[in-house]
Chain A
Amino acid sequence: MSELLVARPSPPSSVRVVSDVPMAAPPGAVDPTDAEVGRRFAAGDEQALAVAYQRWAGQVHGMAVRAFGPGPDAEDVTQQTFIAAWTGRARFRPEESPLPAWLVGICRHKIADAWGRRERQRREAEAALSQAQAAPVGGTGPGVDSVVADRVLVLDELDRLGQPQRGIIELAFFADLTHAQIAERTGLPLGTVKSHIRRTLERLRSRLEGDGAALPA
Protein backbone atom coordinates (compact mmCIF):
# COMPACT_ATOMS: atom_id res chain seq x y z
CA MET A 1 0.00 0.00 0.00
CA SER A 2 1.39 3.33 0.93
CA GLU A 3 5.06 4.04 1.28
CA LEU A 4 3.94 5.60 4.48
CA LEU A 5 3.22 2.16 5.78
CA VAL A 6 6.39 0.44 4.89
CA ALA A 7 8.77 2.31 7.10
CA ARG A 8 10.17 -0.28 9.41
CA PRO A 9 9.59 -0.78 12.19
CA SER A 10 7.18 1.79 13.55
CA PRO A 11 6.16 5.10 11.97
CA PRO A 12 2.84 4.43 10.31
CA SER A 13 2.28 7.65 8.45
CA SER A 14 3.91 10.77 7.19
CA VAL A 15 1.00 12.68 8.53
CA ARG A 16 2.51 13.45 11.84
CA VAL A 17 -0.74 14.28 13.46
CA VAL A 18 -1.25 11.15 15.44
CA SER A 19 1.69 11.75 17.67
CA ASP A 20 1.95 8.37 19.36
CA VAL A 21 4.95 7.39 17.32
CA PRO A 22 7.85 6.70 19.62
CA MET A 23 10.65 9.00 18.63
CA ALA A 24 13.45 8.28 21.03
CA ALA A 25 15.86 5.48 20.31
CA PRO A 26 17.48 3.78 23.24
CA PRO A 27 20.90 5.36 23.59
CA GLY A 28 23.63 3.34 21.99
CA ALA A 29 21.20 1.00 20.29
CA VAL A 30 22.82 -1.23 17.69
CA ASP A 31 19.94 -0.71 15.28
CA PRO A 32 18.76 2.89 15.39
CA THR A 33 15.04 3.36 14.87
CA ASP A 34 13.88 4.80 11.57
CA ALA A 35 13.08 8.05 13.34
CA GLU A 36 16.57 8.21 14.77
CA VAL A 37 18.06 7.56 11.34
CA GLY A 38 15.89 10.39 9.99
CA ARG A 39 17.10 12.84 12.62
CA ARG A 40 20.73 11.93 12.11
CA PHE A 41 20.29 12.17 8.35
CA ALA A 42 18.90 15.67 8.68
CA ALA A 43 21.78 16.56 10.95
CA GLY A 44 24.29 15.48 8.31
CA ASP A 45 25.54 12.27 9.93
CA GLU A 46 27.19 10.34 7.09
CA GLN A 47 26.54 7.03 8.77
CA ALA A 48 22.82 7.83 8.61
CA LEU A 49 23.04 8.06 4.82
CA ALA A 50 24.63 4.62 4.75
CA VAL A 51 21.97 3.20 7.06
CA ALA A 52 19.19 4.89 5.07
CA TYR A 53 20.59 3.35 1.91
CA GLN A 54 20.74 -0.05 3.48
CA ARG A 55 17.16 0.17 4.71
CA TRP A 56 15.40 1.92 1.86
CA ALA A 57 17.42 1.64 -1.33
CA GLY A 58 15.48 -1.53 -2.15
CA GLN A 59 12.21 0.35 -1.88
CA VAL A 60 13.44 3.26 -3.97
CA HIS A 61 15.05 1.00 -6.54
CA GLY A 62 11.88 -1.08 -6.69
CA MET A 63 10.00 2.04 -7.80
CA ALA A 64 12.68 2.96 -10.31
CA VAL A 65 12.66 -0.54 -11.76
CA ARG A 66 8.89 -0.42 -12.02
CA ALA A 67 9.18 2.77 -14.06
CA PHE A 68 12.14 1.89 -16.27
CA GLY A 69 12.75 -1.82 -15.95
CA PRO A 70 15.98 -3.15 -14.50
CA GLY A 71 19.12 -1.52 -15.84
CA PRO A 72 21.07 1.72 -16.03
CA ASP A 73 18.05 4.06 -16.16
CA ALA A 74 16.58 2.68 -12.95
CA GLU A 75 19.98 2.60 -11.30
CA ASP A 76 20.52 6.21 -12.23
CA VAL A 77 17.19 7.21 -10.68
CA THR A 78 18.04 5.40 -7.44
CA GLN A 79 21.48 6.95 -7.33
CA GLN A 80 20.17 10.44 -8.06
CA THR A 81 17.47 10.04 -5.43
CA PHE A 82 19.96 9.37 -2.64
CA ILE A 83 22.38 12.03 -3.86
CA ALA A 84 19.59 14.62 -4.00
CA ALA A 85 18.30 13.55 -0.60
CA TRP A 86 21.73 13.97 0.93
CA THR A 87 22.60 17.25 -0.69
CA GLY A 88 19.10 18.57 0.02
CA ARG A 89 18.89 17.25 3.56
CA ALA A 90 18.43 20.77 4.93
CA ARG A 91 14.91 20.63 3.49
CA PHE A 92 14.07 17.36 5.20
CA ARG A 93 11.94 17.77 8.29
CA PRO A 94 12.30 14.59 10.32
CA GLU A 95 9.58 15.70 12.70
CA GLU A 96 7.10 15.98 9.83
CA SER A 97 7.63 12.88 7.77
CA PRO A 98 9.54 9.62 7.92
CA LEU A 99 12.74 9.49 5.89
CA PRO A 100 11.56 6.66 3.61
CA ALA A 101 8.48 8.68 2.61
CA TRP A 102 10.71 11.62 1.81
CA LEU A 103 13.03 9.43 -0.25
CA VAL A 104 10.07 8.01 -2.16
CA GLY A 105 8.89 11.57 -2.87
CA ILE A 106 12.29 12.44 -4.32
CA CYS A 107 12.28 9.25 -6.33
CA ARG A 108 8.96 10.31 -7.89
CA HIS A 109 10.60 13.56 -8.98
CA LYS A 110 13.54 11.73 -10.49
CA ILE A 111 11.23 9.40 -12.39
CA ALA A 112 9.11 12.29 -13.64
CA ASP A 113 12.25 14.22 -14.62
CA ALA A 114 13.59 11.24 -16.53
CA TRP A 115 10.26 10.91 -18.35
CA GLY A 116 10.45 14.62 -19.13
CA ARG A 117 13.92 14.23 -20.64
CA ARG A 118 12.76 11.28 -22.72
CA GLU A 119 9.78 13.24 -23.91
CA ARG A 120 11.98 16.16 -24.95
CA GLN A 121 14.30 13.82 -26.79
CA ARG A 122 11.37 12.22 -28.51
CA ARG A 123 10.03 15.59 -29.58
CA GLU A 124 13.40 16.68 -30.84
CA ALA A 125 13.78 13.48 -32.78
CA GLU A 126 10.28 13.93 -34.19
CA ALA A 127 10.96 17.52 -35.09
CA ALA A 128 14.19 16.56 -36.80
CA LEU A 129 12.41 13.81 -38.66
CA SER A 130 9.50 15.98 -39.79
CA GLN A 131 11.90 18.71 -40.86
CA ALA A 132 13.82 16.19 -42.87
CA GLN A 133 10.58 15.08 -44.44
CA ALA A 134 9.42 18.68 -44.87
CA ALA A 135 6.13 17.63 -43.35
CA PRO A 136 4.13 19.47 -40.68
CA VAL A 137 4.75 18.30 -37.11
CA GLY A 138 2.27 15.57 -36.32
CA GLY A 139 -0.47 15.79 -33.76
CA THR A 140 0.72 12.99 -31.48
CA GLY A 141 2.88 15.16 -29.25
CA PRO A 142 0.92 17.80 -27.37
CA GLY A 143 -1.24 15.53 -25.20
CA VAL A 144 1.68 13.51 -23.93
CA ASP A 145 3.76 16.63 -23.58
CA SER A 146 1.41 18.47 -21.35
CA VAL A 147 0.86 15.52 -19.03
CA VAL A 148 4.60 15.10 -18.63
CA ALA A 149 4.98 18.80 -17.85
CA ASP A 150 1.97 18.77 -15.52
CA ARG A 151 3.44 15.89 -13.62
CA VAL A 152 6.68 17.72 -12.87
CA LEU A 153 4.71 20.77 -11.75
CA VAL A 154 2.38 18.81 -9.51
CA LEU A 155 5.25 16.98 -7.82
CA ASP A 156 7.04 20.25 -7.37
CA GLU A 157 3.99 21.86 -5.80
CA LEU A 158 3.53 18.88 -3.48
CA ASP A 159 6.98 19.64 -2.11
CA ARG A 160 5.82 23.07 -1.12
CA LEU A 161 2.87 21.80 0.89
CA GLY A 162 3.11 21.65 4.63
CA GLN A 163 1.74 18.88 6.77
CA PRO A 164 -0.81 17.53 7.16
CA GLN A 165 -1.85 18.70 3.68
CA ARG A 166 0.95 16.91 1.92
CA GLY A 167 0.43 13.61 3.70
CA ILE A 168 -3.29 13.76 3.00
CA ILE A 169 -3.00 14.41 -0.70
CA GLU A 170 -0.25 11.82 -1.08
CA LEU A 171 -2.46 9.20 0.50
CA ALA A 172 -5.18 10.17 -1.97
CA PHE A 173 -2.88 10.30 -5.00
CA PHE A 174 -0.43 7.51 -4.40
CA ALA A 175 -2.02 5.15 -1.92
CA ASP A 176 -5.43 5.47 -3.56
CA LEU A 177 -7.25 5.93 -0.29
CA THR A 178 -10.67 7.53 -0.03
CA HIS A 179 -11.11 10.58 2.17
CA ALA A 180 -12.78 8.37 4.78
CA GLN A 181 -9.81 6.00 4.81
CA ILE A 182 -7.44 8.93 5.07
CA ALA A 183 -9.37 10.29 8.04
CA GLU A 184 -9.17 6.91 9.68
CA ARG A 185 -5.48 6.54 8.94
CA THR A 186 -4.47 9.98 10.14
CA GLY A 187 -6.94 10.42 12.97
CA LEU A 188 -8.08 13.71 11.44
CA PRO A 189 -11.78 14.63 11.32
CA LEU A 190 -13.53 13.80 8.04
CA GLY A 191 -14.41 17.44 7.40
CA THR A 192 -10.79 18.52 7.87
CA VAL A 193 -9.58 15.92 5.41
CA LYS A 194 -12.19 17.00 2.86
CA SER A 195 -11.39 20.67 3.12
CA HIS A 196 -7.64 20.02 2.89
CA ILE A 197 -8.20 17.94 -0.23
CA ARG A 198 -10.30 20.68 -1.76
CA ARG A 199 -7.81 23.43 -0.99
CA THR A 200 -4.85 21.38 -2.18
CA LEU A 201 -6.52 20.52 -5.49
CA GLU A 202 -7.34 24.21 -5.98
CA ARG A 203 -3.77 25.11 -5.27
CA LEU A 204 -2.49 22.53 -7.75
CA ARG A 205 -4.95 23.80 -10.33
CA SER A 206 -3.70 27.37 -9.95
CA ARG A 207 -0.14 26.17 -10.31
CA LEU A 208 -0.97 24.21 -13.45
CA GLU A 209 -3.04 26.94 -15.02
CA GLY A 210 -0.60 29.67 -14.06
CA ASP A 211 2.55 27.89 -15.14
CA GLY A 212 0.90 25.91 -17.87
CA ALA A 213 0.11 29.05 -19.85
CA ALA A 214 3.72 30.17 -19.65
CA LEU A 215 5.21 26.87 -20.71
CA PRO A 216 6.95 26.83 -24.04
CA ALA A 217 5.24 24.50 -26.45
Chain B
Amino acid sequence: MQHCPPEQLALAALREPLPDDDALHLAGCELCRAEVSSLRRAVDAVAVPELAAPGPDVPPPPSVWAGIAAATGVTAAPAGAPAARVDAEPEGARVLPFRTRRRGVLLVAAAAVAGGVLGAGVTALVTGGDQPEAVAAVALDPLTDEQASGRAEVVVRGDGSRALQVQLDAPALEGEYYELWLIEPGVVDMVPLGVLRPGSQTFELPAGLDLGAYPLVDVSVEPLDGDPTHSGVSVARGELDT
Protein backbone atom coordinates (compact mmCIF):
# COMPACT_ATOMS: atom_id res chain seq x y z
CA MET B 1 0.00 0.00 0.00
CA GLN B 2 1.29 3.43 -1.00
CA HIS B 3 1.41 5.85 1.96
CA CYS B 4 0.53 9.53 1.62
CA PRO B 5 3.40 11.80 0.57
CA PRO B 6 4.96 13.53 3.60
CA GLU B 7 3.95 16.97 2.28
CA GLN B 8 0.32 15.91 2.13
CA LEU B 9 0.43 14.71 5.71
CA ALA B 10 1.79 18.09 6.75
CA LEU B 11 -1.12 19.78 4.98
CA ALA B 12 -3.49 17.37 6.72
CA ALA B 13 -1.93 18.43 10.02
CA LEU B 14 -2.90 21.99 9.09
CA ARG B 15 -6.40 20.68 8.39
CA GLU B 16 -6.23 21.33 4.68
CA PRO B 17 -8.41 18.96 2.68
CA LEU B 18 -6.40 16.32 0.82
CA PRO B 19 -6.96 14.96 -2.67
CA ASP B 20 -9.47 12.08 -2.62
CA ASP B 21 -6.97 9.23 -2.91
CA ASP B 22 -4.79 10.58 -0.12
CA ALA B 23 -7.81 11.30 2.05
CA LEU B 24 -9.07 7.78 1.49
CA HIS B 25 -5.73 6.26 2.35
CA LEU B 26 -5.32 8.44 5.43
CA ALA B 27 -8.69 7.39 6.76
CA GLY B 28 -7.58 3.76 6.83
CA CYS B 29 -3.87 4.01 7.68
CA GLU B 30 -2.83 4.08 11.32
CA LEU B 31 0.73 4.98 10.39
CA CYS B 32 -0.22 8.05 8.36
CA ARG B 33 -2.76 9.13 10.96
CA ALA B 34 -0.16 8.91 13.71
CA GLU B 35 2.15 11.04 11.60
CA VAL B 36 -0.53 13.70 11.12
CA SER B 37 -1.33 13.67 14.77
CA SER B 38 2.30 14.17 15.81
CA LEU B 39 2.72 17.05 13.37
CA ARG B 40 -0.50 18.60 14.55
CA ARG B 41 0.68 19.15 18.10
CA ALA B 42 2.49 22.34 17.04
CA VAL B 43 -0.44 23.45 14.92
CA ASP B 44 -2.87 23.07 17.78
CA ALA B 45 -0.59 24.82 20.25
CA VAL B 46 -0.96 28.12 18.46
CA ALA B 47 -4.37 27.66 16.85
CA VAL B 48 -6.18 30.05 19.15
CA PRO B 49 -7.99 33.13 17.94
CA GLU B 50 -6.07 35.38 20.30
CA LEU B 51 -2.86 34.70 18.40
CA ALA B 52 -4.35 35.09 14.95
CA ALA B 53 -3.54 38.03 12.75
CA PRO B 54 -4.53 41.32 14.33
CA GLY B 55 -8.14 42.36 14.28
CA PRO B 56 -9.47 45.81 15.01
CA ASP B 57 -7.05 48.38 16.41
CA VAL B 58 -7.45 49.54 19.96
CA PRO B 59 -5.46 52.65 20.85
CA PRO B 60 -3.72 52.09 24.19
CA PRO B 61 -4.02 54.72 26.91
CA PRO B 62 -1.20 57.28 27.23
CA SER B 63 0.20 55.53 30.30
CA VAL B 64 1.45 52.73 28.04
CA TRP B 65 3.82 55.00 26.17
CA ALA B 66 4.89 56.59 29.43
CA GLY B 67 5.91 53.15 30.68
CA ILE B 68 7.80 52.39 27.47
CA ALA B 69 9.64 55.71 27.61
CA ALA B 70 10.52 55.14 31.25
CA ALA B 71 11.80 51.61 30.63
CA THR B 72 13.80 52.42 27.50
CA GLY B 73 14.97 55.90 28.42
CA VAL B 74 13.83 57.08 25.02
CA THR B 75 13.13 60.79 25.01
CA ALA B 76 11.51 60.98 21.58
CA ALA B 77 7.74 61.05 21.81
CA PRO B 78 5.06 59.90 19.42
CA ALA B 79 3.76 62.85 17.46
CA GLY B 80 0.28 61.91 18.54
CA ALA B 81 -1.89 59.15 19.80
CA PRO B 82 -1.48 55.80 18.06
CA ALA B 83 -3.19 55.72 14.73
CA ALA B 84 -5.81 53.17 13.90
CA ARG B 85 -5.54 51.54 10.58
CA VAL B 86 -8.09 52.70 8.12
CA ASP B 87 -9.09 49.32 6.83
CA ALA B 88 -10.79 48.89 3.54
CA GLU B 89 -14.31 49.14 4.81
CA PRO B 90 -16.29 50.19 1.81
CA GLU B 91 -19.60 50.28 3.63
CA GLY B 92 -18.92 53.82 4.73
CA ALA B 93 -16.40 55.99 6.34
CA ARG B 94 -15.14 54.53 9.58
CA VAL B 95 -12.10 56.13 11.01
CA LEU B 96 -10.90 56.10 14.55
CA PRO B 97 -8.33 58.65 15.53
CA PHE B 98 -7.58 61.70 13.52
CA ARG B 99 -4.38 63.50 13.06
CA THR B 100 -3.68 66.93 11.85
CA ARG B 101 -1.28 67.28 9.05
CA ARG B 102 1.75 67.87 11.16
CA ARG B 103 0.86 66.62 14.56
CA GLY B 104 -1.28 63.74 15.56
CA VAL B 105 -4.30 64.57 17.59
CA LEU B 106 -6.69 62.00 18.82
CA LEU B 107 -10.02 63.24 17.71
CA VAL B 108 -11.54 62.63 21.09
CA ALA B 109 -9.13 65.20 22.44
CA ALA B 110 -9.93 67.51 19.58
CA ALA B 111 -13.61 67.05 20.26
CA ALA B 112 -13.04 68.20 23.79
CA VAL B 113 -11.39 71.33 22.44
CA ALA B 114 -14.27 71.84 20.06
CA GLY B 115 -16.56 71.53 23.02
CA GLY B 116 -14.59 74.29 24.66
CA VAL B 117 -15.23 76.73 21.88
CA LEU B 118 -18.82 75.70 21.64
CA GLY B 119 -20.18 78.49 23.74
CA ALA B 120 -18.47 81.12 21.67
CA GLY B 121 -19.21 79.58 18.32
CA VAL B 122 -22.80 78.57 18.44
CA THR B 123 -25.66 80.94 18.10
CA ALA B 124 -29.21 79.93 17.54
CA LEU B 125 -30.82 82.07 14.91
CA VAL B 126 -34.49 82.16 14.25
CA THR B 127 -36.17 84.00 11.45
CA GLY B 128 -39.77 83.71 10.47
CA GLY B 129 -41.78 83.15 7.33
CA ASP B 130 -40.83 81.04 4.32
CA GLN B 131 -37.21 82.05 4.52
CA PRO B 132 -34.82 79.27 5.41
CA GLU B 133 -34.61 79.25 9.14
CA ALA B 134 -31.20 78.94 10.73
CA VAL B 135 -31.56 76.63 13.69
CA ALA B 136 -27.95 76.31 14.72
CA ALA B 137 -24.63 77.76 13.78
CA VAL B 138 -21.13 76.88 14.74
CA ALA B 139 -17.70 78.35 14.26
CA LEU B 140 -15.26 76.04 12.51
CA ASP B 141 -12.00 76.48 14.32
CA PRO B 142 -8.64 75.55 12.91
CA LEU B 143 -7.04 72.46 14.37
CA THR B 144 -3.45 72.71 15.56
CA ASP B 145 -1.18 74.48 13.12
CA GLU B 146 -3.83 74.67 10.43
CA GLN B 147 -4.90 77.72 8.46
CA ALA B 148 -8.51 76.80 7.83
CA SER B 149 -11.46 78.27 9.66
CA GLY B 150 -15.04 79.09 8.93
CA ARG B 151 -18.60 78.86 10.01
CA ALA B 152 -21.44 76.41 9.46
CA GLU B 153 -25.13 77.02 9.82
CA VAL B 154 -27.99 74.55 9.81
CA VAL B 155 -31.01 75.93 8.01
CA VAL B 156 -34.51 74.52 7.73
CA ARG B 157 -36.42 75.38 4.61
CA GLY B 158 -40.15 75.96 4.30
CA ASP B 159 -40.69 72.36 3.12
CA GLY B 160 -38.93 71.00 6.17
CA SER B 161 -35.76 70.03 4.35
CA ARG B 162 -32.49 70.95 5.95
CA ALA B 163 -29.18 72.17 4.66
CA LEU B 164 -25.80 73.08 6.02
CA GLN B 165 -24.49 76.44 4.82
CA VAL B 166 -20.75 76.63 5.13
CA GLN B 167 -18.35 79.48 4.87
CA LEU B 168 -14.76 78.25 4.63
CA ASP B 169 -11.70 80.42 4.83
CA ALA B 170 -8.78 78.26 3.85
CA PRO B 171 -5.89 78.17 1.42
CA ALA B 172 -6.53 76.68 -2.00
CA LEU B 173 -5.22 73.15 -2.39
CA GLU B 174 -3.31 71.49 -5.15
CA GLY B 175 -3.67 67.77 -5.72
CA GLU B 176 -5.95 67.55 -2.66
CA TYR B 177 -9.40 68.80 -1.79
CA TYR B 178 -11.47 69.73 1.21
CA GLU B 179 -14.34 67.52 2.28
CA LEU B 180 -17.13 68.21 4.74
CA TRP B 181 -18.24 65.63 7.31
CA LEU B 182 -20.67 65.23 10.16
CA ILE B 183 -19.16 63.01 12.83
CA GLU B 184 -20.54 61.38 15.94
CA PRO B 185 -18.87 62.14 19.28
CA GLY B 186 -17.31 58.68 19.47
CA VAL B 187 -15.53 59.56 16.24
CA VAL B 188 -16.25 56.28 14.59
CA ASP B 189 -19.27 56.90 12.44
CA MET B 190 -19.50 59.79 10.08
CA VAL B 191 -21.56 61.14 7.24
CA PRO B 192 -19.75 62.65 4.26
CA LEU B 193 -21.53 65.75 2.99
CA GLY B 194 -19.37 66.49 0.01
CA VAL B 195 -16.51 68.31 -1.57
CA LEU B 196 -15.85 71.75 -0.21
CA ARG B 197 -13.90 74.70 -1.54
CA PRO B 198 -12.94 77.96 0.10
CA GLY B 199 -15.90 80.32 0.04
CA SER B 200 -19.62 79.82 0.67
CA GLN B 201 -21.54 76.68 -0.18
CA THR B 202 -24.71 74.89 0.82
CA PHE B 203 -24.92 71.16 1.47
CA GLU B 204 -28.13 69.21 1.59
CA LEU B 205 -28.58 67.29 4.83
CA PRO B 206 -29.99 63.77 4.58
CA ALA B 207 -33.63 63.72 5.66
CA GLY B 208 -34.00 62.02 9.00
CA LEU B 209 -30.35 62.40 9.94
CA ASP B 210 -30.16 63.06 13.66
CA LEU B 211 -27.80 66.00 13.97
CA GLY B 212 -27.63 65.40 17.70
CA ALA B 213 -25.97 62.08 16.93
CA TYR B 214 -23.47 63.67 14.51
CA PRO B 215 -22.68 67.01 16.09
CA LEU B 216 -19.11 67.46 14.87
CA VAL B 217 -18.78 69.50 11.69
CA ASP B 218 -15.42 68.53 10.28
CA VAL B 219 -13.40 69.73 7.32
CA SER B 220 -10.79 67.29 6.09
CA VAL B 221 -8.12 67.39 3.43
CA GLU B 222 -8.46 64.44 1.10
CA PRO B 223 -5.88 63.20 -1.37
CA LEU B 224 -7.04 62.42 -4.89
CA ASP B 225 -6.64 58.71 -4.25
CA GLY B 226 -10.12 57.38 -4.89
CA ASP B 227 -10.46 56.31 -1.27
CA PRO B 228 -13.89 57.41 -0.04
CA THR B 229 -12.97 57.22 3.64
CA HIS B 230 -11.84 60.12 5.78
CA SER B 231 -8.14 60.76 5.29
CA GLY B 232 -7.65 61.30 8.99
CA VAL B 233 -6.36 64.78 8.25
CA SER B 234 -8.74 67.34 9.70
CA VAL B 235 -8.07 71.05 9.40
CA ALA B 236 -11.09 72.73 11.00
CA ARG B 237 -13.91 71.61 13.19
CA GLY B 238 -16.79 72.76 15.32
CA GLU B 239 -19.50 71.11 17.36
CA LEU B 240 -23.15 71.76 16.69
CA ASP B 241 -25.39 72.30 19.64
CA THR B 242 -28.77 71.10 18.44
Q: Which residues of A contact B (CB under 8 A)?
A: 1-6, 8, 30, 46-47, 49-51, 53-67, 70, 74-75, 78-79, 82-83, 86-87, 104, 108, 111-112, 147, 150-151, 153-155, 172-176, 178-179, 194-195, 197-198, 201-202, 204-205, 207-209
Contact = CB atoms under 8 A, between A and B. Distances in A.
Given A172-B14, A175-B53, A57 B64 contact: yes
A50 B55 contact: no
13 contacts: A57-B60, A58-B85, A59-B57, A60-B54, A66-B55, A70-B58, A75-B64, A79-B67, A82-B64, A111-B50, A151-B48, A201-B39, A205-B41
B11 interface: yes
B38 to A, nearest CB: 6
Given A75-B64, A82-B68, A50 B59 contact: no
B238 interface: no
A46 B75 contact: yes
Interface string B26-60: 00000000000011011111111111111111111
A201 to B, nearest CB: 5
Main secondary structure of the interface of B (DSSP, over half): loop
A11 to B, nearest CB: 14
Nearest to A65: B58
Given A178-B16, A205-B39, A58 B53 contact: no
A175 to B, nearest CB: 5
A122 B43 CA distance: 25
A45 B21 CA distance: 56
Nearest to A5: B53
B59 A61 contact: yes
Contacts of A104: 53-54
Interface stretch (B76-84, B148-156, B198-206): B76-84
Contacts of B80: 54
B46 A173 contact: yes
B45 A62 contact: no
A179 B11 contact: yes
A197 B51 contact: no
A6 B38 contact: no
Given A54-B104, A79-B64, A179-B11, A61 B53 contact: no
Interface in B188-231: none
Given A53-B65, A79-B64, A197-B11, A174 B52 contact: yes
Interface string B86-97: 010000000011
Given A59-B85, A201-B39, A46 B74 contact: yes
B71 interface: yes
Interface residues of B, number: 55
Main secondary structure of the interface of A (DSSP, over half): helix
B71 A205 contact: no
A112 to B, nearest CB: 7
Contacts of A59: 54, 57, 85
A61 B96 CA distance: 14
A102 B227 CA distance: 28
Contacts of B96: 58
Contacts of B42: 150, 154, 201, 204-205, 207-208
B13 interface: yes
A154 B16 contact: no
A89 to B, nearest CB: 10
Nearest to A2: B53
A82 to B, nearest CB: 5
B145 interface: no
B60 A75 contact: yes
B16 A61 contact: no
Given A8-B85, A55-B82, A197-B14, 8 more contacts: A3-B53, A62-B56, A62-B58, A150-B45, A173-B47, A202-B39, A204-B42, A205-B41
B135 interface: no
B57 A54 contact: no
A62 B55 contact: yes
B61 interface: yes
Contact of A86 (B11, B55, B72, B85): B72
Nearest to B80: A54
B158 interface: no
B64 A49 contact: no
